[in-house]
A = this chain, B = another copy of it.
């Protein structure tokens, strides 16, 4: 199958490779001239045969919107755009509207797997209409991990459902990581425990907490014993915030996600204003010394 791919960065580039390995022909465009196969979107569209499939993998927000708008001008009825970037699910309906006005199909596809996806395959969560999903299935089958399709791919629901599922996936990820992290800190704090890394590694098989993230924790502890020198400073990439906002919107209690997200916020503060206030209040009523 022949497919256009816009955005050939860390993720897009690896996906192009995985598609190529599976025998698909990828026509790639990127702002970086050294990465691309064609010099412009019109050239890319021209290089494909109708009905065309174009996978968009550019930064979310304005870049994605502009790309989709331009594709709306260039593509024809019956073609299909797959937004595989990190768009917020609320944006998918708008992008779909731009395209469906011209009879062009739209799918949103959440992609998980990070830098490991090239070898392991990517977990795919897709939203949109069934006929569009069917049309793109050879692409999905090439990108997803080997094994049963349903263990690496889902048609999650209507337009937006793919990015929604990916967003929730990332929210869960925040919680899982922090659960391991709390356990790590407690083990590391205890004098009678002499082999923290060994404990994590011993959980790799047979225990209830075994997981890929656990394997990565073992690997991290192996590469950096005691995590010596690693800063607590941790960024957050949007999906965690969106998930919590959705929890608020849908009145779903999300204390675990909230805790994980807040801990990241706090990790970036030198001197918490909230705790300055608590310290000041203690000084006021108790005469407790306040550190300056």
Rounded to whole Å, the gap between the CB of A265 and the closest CB of chain B is 5
Contact B232 A114 (CB under 8 A): no
Q: Which residues of B contact A232 (CB under 8 A)?
A: 271-272, 275-276, 279
Within the complex, what minimum Cβ distance (angstroms) separates A159 from chain B? 7
Are B281 and A180 touching (Cβ within 8 A)?
A: yes
Residues of B within 8 Å of A161, CB to CB, are 190, 192-194
Number of chain A residues whose Cβ lies closer than 8 Å to a Cβ of chain B? 137
CA distance A204 to B148 in the complex (A): 10
Q: How far is the CB of A97 from chain B (nearest CB, A)?
A: 15
> Is A210 interfacial (CB-CB < 8 Å)?
yes
Known: A160-B192, A205-B120. A259 touches B248 (CB 8 A): no
A121 within 8 Å of B (CB atoms): yes
Given A165-B193, A169-B209, decide whether A186 and B247 contact each other with a Cβ distance below 8 A. yes
Interface stretch (choices A64-72, A80-88, A212-220): A212-220
Chosen A-B contacts, 22 in total, with CB atoms closer than 8 Å, are A125-B202, A144-B205, A145-B205, A150-B202, A156-B199, A175-B256, A176-B179, A179-B260, A181-B273, A182-B256, A186-B250, A186-B252, A211-B213, A217-B281, A219-B284, A230-B279, A232-B272, A232-B275, A232-B276, A251-B265, A256-B256, A266-B275
